[in-house]
């Protein structure tokens, strides 16, 4: 069998940030024509290592070879000259420009006259070659998230990338878009290109990768593994250093009094179009009600109506009999409603404030943190230190700005703030999205603890397995309406309603008994 050709070798890479050793003598090698998954917990150093390879960071120590030749990248431009491009988790596109204009942006050519029709043809040919399915003339704002990601891939291919690094590429994609992305990656490796896939989603890594390198706390957890010779369970243990439970069992308990009542609620989306049409739900103490649905069917609008972030055009929401809808968000906060939003940076936190400030954001008016018109700084810091330890927030200090945290640690800050107040009602929107397997287990356990403590939980998730595991009942929302509520964990019934079917066929036993 011929020896595998190495596309990239990284040896002894060291990268430090203030108070953090992000990469500690890391080795990594990428073969030509392979998809190599870089796996690890949030904050394990995956993105940092690849940012070094892409020229965004300069390492304190270590060496890099590309196709056997030593390189020293001072910028991403240096990296792309050597055929290395990176598609980041947060896209770098200009919404008002077309696909072609975004791809040409920053290049030396064209310099004076931009003959767009000619460049449209070139990009269309490249798009067709790899099956990327994006119209060159379309404006970026007109494209879906999946299509915007394809534009980023086209940018790198147009610049001649032979090695493509993809940072958490499936975090914002629907399942169908994930399948399309994987088909594209396979078409690229078929032409000899090499892919690094940064991820923490074990199922996807097992489905698409050829080899896997696991990072844990800034170091490699062992030599690269052939995907076909390992398992999801073994990878999870390498990632977190302990066995991980993929299915969490919950205690059977009878729900208590009615806590959250949503009565005939209608609301509009940001474009002024109907998003909710007469939604009614009731959630009792000690109960998790799951809300299932394909993204964009009114889930986020419902969460915002409950928490006071969006007005409703009809109906009302009450918490323990007190109306909170169409009132300031502070009313819901005072009613002891916890909110875990999907947008952690834009809604769930203030990125430029410290961990301490983010942790006291809902309690700064209350004693003992409040001292009349001022804040007791010493108590606030003690409170923040306690929560940092209790929720295992990994950061240099409680003074670290939240924008410097990994996604998993930022989610821990939000959970610590929301759950430490012992809420009576919880609205959790995609609470495990983008988290690694160990962090997912921790969030799920926390929600079940709140259920045992008597909280009424509305769990909004696109992960059907998660809803089936945690929820006592599952309501299905479709085009802003509740199509039904399933109480017997019937996955087929939930799936059919998510696709818009109102009438669910009876099971075989039920048909016979009828």
508 falls within a domain: yes
Cis omega (within 30 of 0) for bond into 110: yes
Which residue range(s) make up the domain with 507?
257-336+425-430+455-514
- Pair (204, 268) in one structural domain: no
363 falls within a domain: no
pLDDT of residue 511: 40
Longest dimension (CA), the chain: 78
How many Cα atoms are found within 13 Å in the side-chain-facing hemisphere of 245?
11
Q: Has residue 164 got a pLDDT over 60? A: yes
Pick 65 or 92 by higher pLDDT: 65
**Crossing angle (nearest 10°) for helices 232-240 and 437-452:** 80
- Pair (226, 277) in one structural domain: no
List all residues 6 or more positions away from 159 whose beta carbon is below 8 Å from its beta carbon: 80, 85, 107
Residue-wise pLDDT for 238-270, tens only, equals 887 777 666 677 788 899 999 999 999 999 988
Three-state SS at 322: strand
In DSSP notation, 228-260 reads GG--HHHHHHHHHSS---SS---------SEEE
- Pair (306, 176) in one structural domain: no
Cis omega (within 30 of 0) for bond into 143: no
Residue-wise pLDDT for 402-453, tens only, equals 988 877 788 889 999 999 888 999 999 989 877 777 778 888 989 999 999 9
295 falls within a domain: yes
pLDDT of residue 508: 46
Pick 40 or 27 by higher pLDDT: 27
- Pair (318, 217) in one structural domain: no
pLDDT of residue 245: 63
Among the listed residues 42, 434, 469, 40, the one whose alpha carbon sits nearest the alpha carbon of residue 236:
40
Distance of CA 14 to the CA centre of its chain: 27
CA–CA separation, 491 vs 466, rounded Å? Answer: 11
- Pair (191, 216) in one structural domain: yes
Last residue of a domain, one of 184, 205, 240: 240
- Pair (229, 264) in one structural domain: no
Residues 201-214 have a mean pLDDT of 91
Residues 136-140 have a mean pLDDT of 90
Q: Has residue 480 got a pLDDT over 60? A: yes
393 falls within a domain: no
List all residues 6 or more positions away from 438 whose beta carbon is below 8 Å from its beta carbon: 41, 236, 239, 240, 242, 244
Q: Has residue 5 got a pLDDT over 90? A: no
364 falls within a domain: no
- Pair (130, 277) in one structural domain: no
How many folded domains does the chain comprise?
2
DSSP code of 19?
A: T
Q: Has residue 366 got a pLDDT over 80? A: no
Pick 345 or 278 by higher pLDDT: 278
Q: How confident is the model at residue 223 (pLDDT cuts 50, 70, 90)?
A: very high
Q: Are 15 and 22 in contact (CB under 8 A)?
A: yes
Model-wide pTM > 0.95: no
CA–CA separation, 309 vs 420, rounded Å? Answer: 22
- Pair (265, 225) in one structural domain: no
Could you count the other beta carbons within 10 Å of the beta carbon of residue 505? 11
246 falls within a domain: no
Mean of pLDDT over the chain: 87
Residues in the chain: 514
pLDDT of residue 313: 96
- Pair (306, 169) in one structural domain: no
- Pair (156, 301) in one structural domain: no
Residue-wise pLDDT for 331-340, tens only, equals 999 999 999 9
pLDDT of residue 178: 80
Three-state SS at 87: strand
Residue-wise pLDDT for 24-38, tens only, equals 999 999 999 999 999
- Pair (184, 285) in one structural domain: no
- Structure token digits, residue 477: 């929302």
Among the listed residues 305, 311, 278, 178, the one whose alpha carbon sits nearest the alpha carbon of residue 479:
278
CA–CA separation, 299 vs 479, rounded Å? Answer: 10
pLDDT of residue 504: 56
Last residue of a domain, one of 240, 265, 295: 240
Residue-wise pLDDT for 267-291, tens only, equals 998 888 899 999 999 999 999 999 9
Range in 155-169, 318-332, 361-375 the model is least confident about: 361-375
Q: Are 53 and 29 in contact (CB under 8 A)?
A: no
CATH code of the domain containing 313? 3.40.50.300
359 falls within a domain: no
What percent of the chain shows pLDDT beyond 90?
A: 49
- Pair (175, 33) in one structural domain: yes
pLDDT of residue 247: 64
132 falls within a domain: yes
Pick 144 or 78 by higher pLDDT: 78
Specify the residue for token string 């802003």: 480
Last residue of a domain, one of 240, 273, 301: 240
């Amino acid at each position: 069998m011929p020896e595998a050709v190495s596309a990239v070798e990284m040896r002894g890479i060291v990268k430090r940030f203030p108070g953090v050793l992000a990469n500690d003598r890391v080795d990594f090698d990428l073969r030509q024509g392979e998809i190599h998954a870089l796996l690890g917990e949030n904050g394990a150093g995956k993105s940092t290592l690849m940012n070094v390879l892409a020229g965004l960071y300069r390492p304190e120590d270590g060496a890099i070879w590309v196709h056997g030749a030593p390189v020293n990248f001072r910028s991403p431009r240096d990296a792309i000259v050597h055929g290395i491009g990176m598609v980041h988790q947060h896209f770098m596109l200009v919404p008002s420009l077309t696909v072609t204009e975004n791809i040409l942006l920053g290049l030396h050519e064209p310099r004076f006259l931009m003959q767009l029709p000619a460049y449209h043809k070139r990009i269309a040919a490249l798009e067709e070659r790899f099956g990327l399915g994006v119209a060159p003339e379309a404006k970026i704002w007109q494209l879906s998230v999946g299509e915007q990601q394809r534009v980023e891939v086209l940018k790198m291919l147009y610049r001649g990338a032979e090695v493509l690094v993809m940072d958490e590429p499936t975090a914002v994609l629907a399942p169908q878009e994930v399948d399309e992305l994987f088909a594209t990656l396979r078409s690229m490796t078929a032409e000899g290109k090499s892919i690094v896939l940064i991820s923490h989603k074990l199922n996807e890594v097992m489905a698409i990768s050829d080899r896997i390198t696991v990072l844990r706390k800034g170091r490699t957890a062992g030599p690269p593994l052939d995907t076909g010779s390992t398992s999801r369970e073994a990878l999870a243990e390498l990632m977190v250093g302990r066995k991980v439970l993929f299915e969490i069992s919950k205690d059977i308990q009878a729900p208590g009094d009615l806590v959250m009542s949503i009565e005939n609620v209608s609301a509009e989306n940001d474009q002024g179009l109907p998003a909710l049409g007469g939604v009614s739900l009731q959630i009792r103490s000690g109960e998790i009600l799951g809300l299932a649905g394909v993204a964009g069917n009114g889930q986020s609008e419902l969460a915002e109506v409950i928490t006071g972030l969006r007005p409703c055009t009809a109906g009302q929401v009450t918490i323990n009999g007190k109306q909170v809808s169409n009132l300031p968000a502070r009313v819901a906060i005072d009613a002891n409603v916890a909110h875990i939003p999907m947008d952690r940076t834009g809604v769930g936190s203030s990125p430029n404030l410290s961990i301490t400030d983010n942790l006291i954001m809902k309690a700064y008016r209350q004693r003992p943190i409040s001292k009349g018109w001022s804040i007791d700084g010493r108590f606030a810091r003690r409170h923040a230190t306690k929560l940092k330890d209790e929720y295992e927030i990994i950061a240099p200090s409680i003074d670290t700005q939240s924008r410097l945290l990994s996604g998993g640690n930022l989610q821990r800050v939000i959970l610590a703030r929301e759950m430490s107040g012992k809420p009576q009602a919880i609205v959790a929107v995609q609470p495990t999205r983008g988290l690694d397997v160990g962090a997912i287990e921790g969030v799920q356990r926390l929600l079940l603890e709140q259920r045992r403590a008597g909280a009424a939980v509305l769990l909004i998730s696109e992960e059907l397995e998660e809803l089936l595991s945690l929820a006592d009942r599952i309501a299905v929302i479709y085009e802003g309406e509740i199509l039904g509520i399933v109480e017997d964990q019937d996955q087929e019934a939930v799936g059919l309603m998510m696709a818009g079917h109102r009438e669910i066929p009876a099971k075989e036993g039920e048909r016979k008994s009828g």
